[in-house]
Amino acid sequence: MFDFFKMIHYKTSSEVEIMRESALLVSKTLAAVAEMLRPGISTLEVDAFAEQFILDHGAIPSFKNYKGFPFTCCISVNDAVVHGFPSDRKLQNGDLVSVDAGVFKNGYHGDSAYTFAIGEVSDEVKKLMRVTKDALQLGVEKAIAGNRVGDISFAVQDHAERKHKYGVVRELVGHGLGRKLHEDPQVPNYGKRGSGPKLNDGLVIAIEPMINMGVKEVWYDDDGWTVRTKDGLPAAHYEHTVCVRRGKADVLSSFAEIEAAEKANPALCADY
């Protein structure tokens, strides 16, 4: 089923269950990553581990070679908002690390992201993480049939920007998800209530607040992918794969296993 005017593809219940399997595999991958994060490990090592984990579970990394992106994960450290290149750089105490991954399994993609704090971080960084994660949840709560994309967008922006004075990135947005990694509609993290495409039952979207501690403006690094904050302040990024349903959104990915691994790893700060 799809909308000819916006090419928005709606998923059947069986397709949603296949996508749930993909999304939950991303969650398991991020949980496994959470177990290994520590000062002294390089982001290239993390990426290689995540790739093998996904392959070992019968799936393919969605991001690798997508439009030329050469890695399995986007690993964005400190002032890198999203699309960070894994490198030989070793993580240090105080680093803020966003890990974004996708898998392709049984013909459908799953997509999720989580931000981790290595060791001790400031109260300001903890607040940024908490507010961004809460903004995601508020956006998810608006992903119900009968609402519009703008209702999700407004919920995220209102919490992060209006209430907490953070910068909400304009250049990058959430998106539809299915047989393709990026489908219609786009899901911005800013907007007006009641605006944008209508949300109908069976629409699967990736909701992903990208929130800067300072200004909303960003710039692209020399690699052509890594997006950084203009003022050099840190950014946080959390993402769920969500199916629009009547009455309450169905979150296909999960943070439960990631949060458990985060709390169990003494090298991570889970108190925020």
The answer to whether residue 271 sits within a structural domain is no
Residue 52 φ/ψ, nearest 5 degrees = -65, -35
CATH number at residue 13: 3.90.230.10
**Torsion, Cα of 13, 16, 20, 22 (10° steps):** 140
CA distance 157 to 167: 9
What domain range includes position 29?
2-264
Q: Which positions ≥6 away from 263 have C-beta within 8 Å?
A: 270
270 located within any domain: no
Q: In which order are the strands placed within the sheet that holds 204-207?
A: 183-187, 174-176, 204-207, 240-243, 250-251
The answer to whether residue 105 is domain-embedded is: yes
In a domain, 269, yes or no: no
* Predicted model pTM: 0.97
Establish if 272 belongs to a structural domain.
no
Q: pLDDT digit of tens for each residue in the chain (272 aa)? A: 334 346 899 999 999 999 999 999 999 999 999 999 999 999 999 999 999 999 999 999 999 999 999 999 999 999 999 999 999 999 999 999 999 999 999 999 999 999 999 999 999 999 999 999 999 999 999 999 999 999 999 999 999 999 999 999 999 999 999 999 999 999 999 999 999 999 999 999 999 999 999 999 999 999 999 999 999 999 999 999 999 999 999 999 999 999 999 999 999 999 99
123 lies in some domain: yes
Amino acid letter, residue 58: G
Number of structural domains (the chain) is 1
Q: Name residue 87's amino acid.
A: S
Encoded tokens for 134? 């809460």
Assigned domain for 117 exists = yes
pLDDT of residue 7: 82
Q: Is 146 left (phi over 0), alpha (psi -120 to 50) or beta?
A: left
Amino acid at 37: L
pLDDT at 123: 98
| Residue 216 CB contacts under 8 Å (≥ 6 apart), including other chains | 161, 167, 168, 169, 170
